[in-house]
Amino acid sequence: MMSSVKQNQQQSSFHTLFSLRGSLLTLAILTLLSFTYLSLKYSTPSSQGPESVNVKVVDAGKNEEEDDGGDEFGDVYHSPRVFKLNFAEMEKKFKVYIYPDGDSKTFYQTPRKLTGKYASEGYFFQNIRESRFRTLDPDEAHLFFIPISCHKMRGKGTSYENMTIIVQNYVESLISKYPYWNRTLGADHFFVTCHDVGVRATEGLPLLVKNSIRAVCSPSYDVGFIPHKDVALPQVLQPFALPAGGNDVENRTSLGFWAGHRNSKIRVILARVWENDTELDISNNRISRATGHLVYQKRFYSTKFCICPGGSQVNSARIADSIHYGCIPV
């Protein structure tokens, strides 16, 4: 009796197995036939002549180009039309919240005179406070600005170690007081530092440097610049010593100009390779003021390209100077 039951169960399982295999095989055959039919259908040449096909392709290209707003940005964006729509949407809705906390005597809460090597940072603070993107409601913000600046501390003679402690205590107070940092571990927070003082004071805070967006005036990657999140902010020294250069290519007799210290590997190589090139104006050291009034700045007027190699300093105003005086920074 038991043997007959087992035999019936085995036969039933075999029938089920073969039935399942048969169903899968049938499904596979139908799928293969469907793909074969579709391939033959769409690979068959159209009955229309080649001229009519070409006309349709060209017209489609024109329509796509018109939809994308022209091909002037075709090499920059995958879809200029989509970029324009996204950019317009961003300008309507993008909001930044500025943390109101912080001692104004320690942090850069209000801009002072915008001169010298701190001008870029000062303008950044001023412009973001006056920006239409600023919101007073943190719940509608997309990014959060941490208003820290260390040059006031430096002016008081505070050591870099104490600056790091002050900044750390400030950031930790924001983390404990507000819920926004912990939502992304600071990925939607940003701060600006445009000189060596701020970089040295914040580099001891991994949670800030590695997680948050850092707008930094840096001519090199030696300061821990992280390309996928950090933003390069060209430094501007205000005021400029001379008026802006114009469209006067005929007066620019030198192909390229650079003057500075050999304080980086790229500068050493640059000076070694180009110092004897008669088409270039290369000086191995800074131009001394003893040679004349504003001689360095005047050299920008006589060259087509201004060479801007990274040096040992965190910040450099060479790019902004080049643009102001009318030569192309390279």
- What are the pLDDT digits (tens) for 206-225? 889 889 998 887 655 566 77
275 in Cβ contact with 156 (< 8 Å): no
Reply yes or no on whether the pLDDT at 195 is more than 60: yes
Mean predicted confidence (pLDDT) in 304-317? 77
Instruction: State the Cα–Cα distance between residues 40 and 237, nearest whole angstrom.
Output: 68
Residue type, 204: G
Question: If you search the block for the tokens 């060259």, which residue do you land on?
Answer: 303
| 3-state SS record for the chain | CHHHHHHHHHHHHHHHHHHHHHHHHHHHHHHHHHHHHHHHHHHCCCCCCHHHHHHHHHHHHHHHHHHCCCCCCCCCCCCHHHHHHHHHHHHHHCCEEECCCCCCCCCCCCCCCCCECCHHHHHHHHHHHHCCCEECCHHHCCEEECCCCCHHHHHCCCCHHHHHHHHHHHHHHHHHHCCHHHHHCCCCEEEEECCHHHHHHHCCCHHHHCCCEEEECCCCCCCCCCCCCCEECCCCCECCCCCCCCCCHHHCCEEEEEECCCCCHHHHHHHHHHCCCCCEEEECCCCCHHHCCCHHHHHHCCEEEECCCCCCCCCCCHHHHHHHHCCEEC
- What is the reported pLDDT for 62? 44
294 backbone φψ class: left, alpha, beta (φ>0; ψ -120 to 50):
left
pLDDT band at 228 (very low <50, low <70, confident <90, very high): confident
Reply yes or no on whether the pLDDT at 308 is more than 60: yes
Residue-wise pLDDT for 35-59, tens only, equals 454 454 444 444 444 444 343 433 4
Reply yes or no on whether the pLDDT at 274 is more than 70: yes
Instruction: State the Cα–Cα distance between residues 134 and 149, nearest whole angstrom.
Output: 19
150 in Cβ contact with 194 (< 8 Å): no
Mean predicted confidence (pLDDT) in 276-294? 78
- What is the reported pLDDT for 57? 38
Reply yes or no on whether the pLDDT at 143 is more than 80: yes
- What is the reported pLDDT for 276? 85
Other CB atoms within 10 Å distance of the CB of residue 32 = 10
Other CB atoms within 10 Å distance of the CB of residue 142 = 13
* Per-chain mean pLDDT for the chain: 75
Instruction: State the Cα–Cα distance between residues 286 and 40, nearest whole angstrom.
Output: 73
Mean predicted confidence (pLDDT) in 135-154? 88
- The candidate with the shortest Cα–Cα distance to 184, out of 137, 142, 225, is 142
Q: What percent of the chain has pLDDT over 70?
A: 68
Residue-wise pLDDT for 54-110, tens only, equals 434 334 444 444 454 555 666 777 888 888 899 899 999 999 999 987 766 666 544
Instruction: State the Cα–Cα distance between residues 52 and 14, nearest whole angstrom.
Output: 59
Whether pTM > 0.85 for this model: the answer is: no
Sorted by where each begins, the domain ranges of the chain are 94-232, 249-329
Other CB atoms within 10 Å distance of the CB of residue 262 = 17
236 in Cβ contact with 323 (< 8 Å): no
